[in-house]
Amino acid sequence: MKLLCRPSLSLLLLALSQSGLAEDAFNLSHVVVTASRQEQPLADTPVRTQLLDRATIQRLHATDIRDALRVIPGIQLREIHGKTGEEVYMQGFNGDRVLILVDGQPVSATTGSTVDVSQLSALDIDHIEVVPGAASALYGSAAMGGVVNIITRQPDGNFARLRGDVGSYGERQVEQQDWPGEQHLALSAGRRLGSVDARINADWRHSDGYDLNDDTYSSDGYAGDKANVGLALVQRGEQGQWGVNLDHFVEDSEVRRYTKGGAEGTKQELLTRWRLSGNAERALAGGLWSLTALHERQHDQADQLNNDTAMPAGNLYRDSAYQQHKIANQWTYTPSSWGGGLARWVMGVEWFAEQLEQDKRQISLVSSDADNAQVTPLPSGLYQIDVNEVPLERRSNGEVFAQLTVPSSHWLEWSPGLRYQNDSDFGGHTSMNLAARSHFELGGWRLQWRNSIGTGYRVPNLKNRYYLFDHSVNGYMVLGSADLQPEQSRSVQTSLSLTDGRRWQFELSAFHNQIRDLIEADDTGERVNNGQVAIYQYRNYARALTRGFELSSQQQLGLGLQQRLSYGFLDARDLSTDLPLINRARHHFKGMWLWDMSQHWQFTLTADWQRGLYTTVNSDYQASSPAILRWDAKGQYQFSDQLRLYGGVNNFTDAVRDPGAPDDRRPVYGRKPYLGVSLTF
């Protein structure tokens, strides 16, 4: 689909041209799609949009989307509890409420709720677009905190690209005798077959494992492989185009853990995901019609095993199966008689369905009297207990949306929007938004002022309502709650940006989100198994608030040096208790310095500092993490258009958490030097 899948040009606000920083870094004419679901210049977007382009992603040597998102102002990354990856936080909303899209289509969450962005390869990414906040009616449930849309490079002619790099964590590698402990290989190739452009790509990341404390058996980082394979076909014509994408992801990983009884064991995970998507579009008089479809299946097998095969008691095997399906029909129209031909309609109808099922098998010393447990005595005197933790649960919803953008003068335009959602379990709900954009020319400077007010709505997903995450071997259990109510929010966003289009850009943005019935996993205070297992359960908070501001700037300093700085302040709290929400940093600073030292040499330095992150909050006790600070240094030498050598050091100050401090949220992964080569044919 043109407005969601066709690659756009290079983009602003974190955009960088390899051929010249000063010329393209502040280009407001670059085309974007996420803010209004149709192609338009960045300067004309009705709501604030942040962008990261291909050249910057290349300079960051990103191996997955996590590496790229790390530098975008306003985004905080947090480890997914019990998993090997990270989720996105925006404006105080966690990953459950930030919609992650690839070419406009949603990505399955690893846990049925939160997308692990480390699973998404950065191979063949054209750019990333970010729309913060629930100020747009064009995206439905799960977009209360904002939208991250990853736009891939579409097949175009004959080409081949090969990239490989290796790195090492030194003494912190689990297999210290192996070098390199981190390996990455990526390949993408395209060919024109008559009127059809085809592309195949493959990306493989391997780790030997990572350990912050080699005096203990347990490890902190996974050992194993993550791999993405994809096939894309596109046919373009004068009146439209069609495309098909088939993608496959596999994660085969292992982390060393002590069992509940103190024995040495491992957590092994095998996750597979198949994703088939298609799109078609056709130009109509004054507009564009488009149709998209998605089918995605995911299977996650997670086993917690005792290393002693003679003592299988405590072994736990969990299988989760998830599917999602989506069909969307959209029409964009530009009435020639409205607003001097500058008005734009976007209208659409969507259908979405998902299902989740989960089974658990456990080897136990004692039998079980649970109603849904199937108990099988074993010859060893132990018991095999099979439980259908989540019976096959389904939900679906139909949605219609419309948004109109119409100018009222040469300097002001309005953009009202409406979305109606009818959920199979929770019935109908209407969300509205209104955005306004003003722009002025001030003697060579361009001033943009964007304001929006909108409502967000999210129904509890299947995990929130039915999930049973029995991690008793590690001392806790997370339960779903069938009594949860949908979340609702009111969002006010404003931003003011000023640029001369050549050397300077400044932006100040502020937001205020009020949330009713926010859903979070909460410690119930209940303890089972003689007090050894804590019970957490999802519940609705009566009211919550996230508010704050972000200040960012870009400066072209001369001599090929560009500086990008941002500071964000966040106040996120439960209004019923006036206590802060956990895992949200109150202060957040990011810096990036890009230096083209010569025609061939490029150097990039990034900084990420966070402070004021609460990890445990209740009426009697509050704990917070030490300040987080990470520096990355990266460089590359461009021999020719075909050959590039690159390398760097991630977290070169080696700032890591104390593995013995449960409230420490500083980086797990420490200093990692790496080297790589990129070839283009």
Q: Is residue 271 part of a domain?
A: yes
Token pair for 464: 């929130």
Reference 67, options 89, 91, 86; nearest CA is 86
The CATH number given to whatever domain includes residue 107 is: 2.40.170.20
Q: What angle do CA 348, 353, 355 make, to 5 degrees?
A: 165
In a domain, 154, yes or no: yes
pLDDT of residue 8: 32
380 occurs within a structural domain = no
Residue identified by tokens 């967000």 is: 456
Are 523 and 547 in contact by the 8 Å Cβ rule? The answer is: no
Residue that has been written with the tokens 């689990």 in this structure? 174
The Cα 552–Cα 566 span in angstroms is 4
Per the structure, the complete domain to which residue 631 belongs is given by 2-306+328-334+341-352+398-680
**Residue 50: in which H helix or E strand, if any?**
strand 50-53
Distance of CA 662 to the CA centre of its chain: 25
Evaluate whether residue 402 is within a structural domain: yes
For residue 24, being part of any structural domain is answered with yes
pLDDT value for 16: 32
- CB distance 573 to 580 below 8 Å: yes
Which residues, given as ranges, of the chain have pLDDT below 50? 1-25
C-alpha triplet 115, 116, 122: angle, nearest 5°: 110
- Asked, for residue 173, whether it belongs to a domain, the answer is yes
Structure tokens at 65: 């989307």
Please state, for a pLDDT cut of 70, what percent of the chain lies above it.
92
Q: What is the pLDDT of residue 285?
A: 82
* Residue 375 belongs to a domain: no
Number of domains in the chain: 1
Query: Does 388 fall in a domain?
Result: no
∠ CA 662-113-2 to the nearest 5 degrees?
Answer: 130
Beta bridge mates, 365: none
Q: Shortest CA distance to 90 belongs to which of 123, 115, 58, 118? A: 115
